[in-house]
């Protein structure tokens, strides 16, 4: 998402330096002191490369008008040591234990939430800015194929098992795409149901993602946690595909009930929604997602915030 912000700002004419790993690609200026991320090179110590990365920016802070932090709470600990104002996008909370750092810098930094639902009452926020999608990566599909799609991590929180039950009770084919994050859950709740009707595809890259999302009659998103955003939901609608989601977390902000999908509370309501899915306008799904969750809108919203901070 930091990349999407950077590239969107470049398109708006801003002078952007992206602090990332050396293999990152940007139309702005790239500044890197770490060759690869620690997920790509496990020989690295994560804390060491994080410190090298963050300190590289902070030592150059005076070169910039504003710092936009997407790196969680650690950069905040440098923020009072530099004169450059910092805006931090909080991409969810990994644990309540990290809140004291955010609270310490509440009065001297600027916080942005990625949804209104994902806000801590202990913090002050300057705005909510929804995640923005590179619209060119997704094609609108007017005529879908006849299948439902589950797209996401295979984990109890994401509701893969519930999606299977929705598809079986709806007598619809279900395609499941995503990485297995909980092998025990997959073996117990997913694997026994795999058949001609329920197919597991594994991880889906950018090209297959676009095809899978666009051709589905609906994306099933029966989450069992309060999800801060839900990127696949916005991506599906951008392709024209309506979403049937459990009404938790940010889902009421992403989905217009009965206009771009359905907000439901359980499997039986989701099954009923599948029967109504043909009444949803795919063009309306695309138009809504583009207006709210495009890279273009996100970059413009952030540029407005930068100006607000610099002139306050």
Average confidence score pLDDT of the chain: 96
CATH number for 25? 3.40.50.2000
pLDDT at 127: 98
- Other C-beta atoms closer than 10 Å to the C-beta of 256 total 17
The model's pLDDT over 235-282, given as tens digits with 9 standing for 90+, comes to 999 999 999 999 999 999 999 999 999 999 999 999 999 999 999 999
Q: Both 8 and 120 in a single domain?
A: yes
Nearest Cα neighbor of 252 from 307, 206, 243 is: 243
Coil, strand, or helix at residue 194? coil
**Distance spanning both ends of the chain, measured CA to CA:** 26
pLDDT at 39: 81
Nearest Cα neighbor of 229 from 258, 257, 249, 209 is: 249
Q: Both 124 and 6 in a single domain?
A: yes
What one-character DSSP code corresponds to residue 124?
Answer: -
Question: What's the predicted TM-score (pTM) here?
Answer: 0.93
Q: Both 81 and 175 in a single domain?
A: no
The model's pLDDT over 28-77, given as tens digits with 9 standing for 90+, comes to 999 999 999 888 888 999 999 999 999 999 999 999 999 999 999 999 99
Q: Rounded CA gap, 152 and 159, in Å?
A: 9
For residue 82, the enclosing domain spans 2-132+294-310
Q: Both 171 and 117 in a single domain?
A: no
């Amino acid at each position: 998402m930091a990349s999407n912000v950077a590239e969107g700002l470049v398109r708006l004419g801003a002078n952007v330096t992206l602090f990332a790993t050396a293999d990152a690609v940007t139309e702005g200026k790239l500044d890197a002191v770490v060759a690869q991320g620690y997920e790509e090179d496990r020989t690295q110590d994560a804390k060491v490369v994080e410190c090298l990365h963050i300190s590289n920016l902070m030592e150059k802070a005076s070169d910039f008008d504003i710092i936009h932090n997407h790196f969680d709470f650690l950069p905040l600990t440098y923020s009072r040591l530099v004169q450059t104002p910092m805006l931090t996008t909080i991409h969810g909370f990994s644990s309540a234990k990290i809140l004291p750092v955010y609270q310490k810098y509440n009065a001297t930094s600027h916080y942005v939430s990625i949804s209104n639902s994902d806000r801590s009452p202990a913090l002050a926020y300057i705005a909510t800015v929804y995640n923005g999608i590179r619209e060119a990566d997704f094609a609108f599909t007017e005529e879908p194929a006849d299948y439902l799609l589950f797209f996401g991590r295979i984990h109890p929180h994401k509701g893969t098992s519930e999606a299977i039950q929705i598809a079986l009770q709806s007598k619809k084919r279900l395609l499941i795409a995503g990485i297995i994050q909980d092998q025990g859950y997959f073996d117990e709740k997913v694997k026994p149901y795999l058949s001609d009707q329920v197919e597991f595809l594994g991880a889906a890259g950018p090209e297959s993602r676009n095809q899978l999302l666009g051709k589905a009659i609906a994306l099933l998103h029966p989450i069992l946690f309060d999800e801060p955003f839900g990127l696949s939901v916005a991506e599906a609608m951008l392709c024209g595909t309506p979403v049937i989601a459990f009404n938790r977390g940010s889902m009421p902000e992403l989905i217009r009930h009965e206009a771009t999908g359905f907000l439901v509370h359980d499997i039986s309501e989701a099954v009923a929604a599948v029967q109504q899915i043909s009444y949803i306008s795919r063009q309306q799904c695309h138009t809504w997602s583009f207006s709210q969750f495009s890279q273009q809108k996100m970059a413009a919203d952030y540029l407005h915030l930068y100006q607000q901070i610099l002139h306050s």
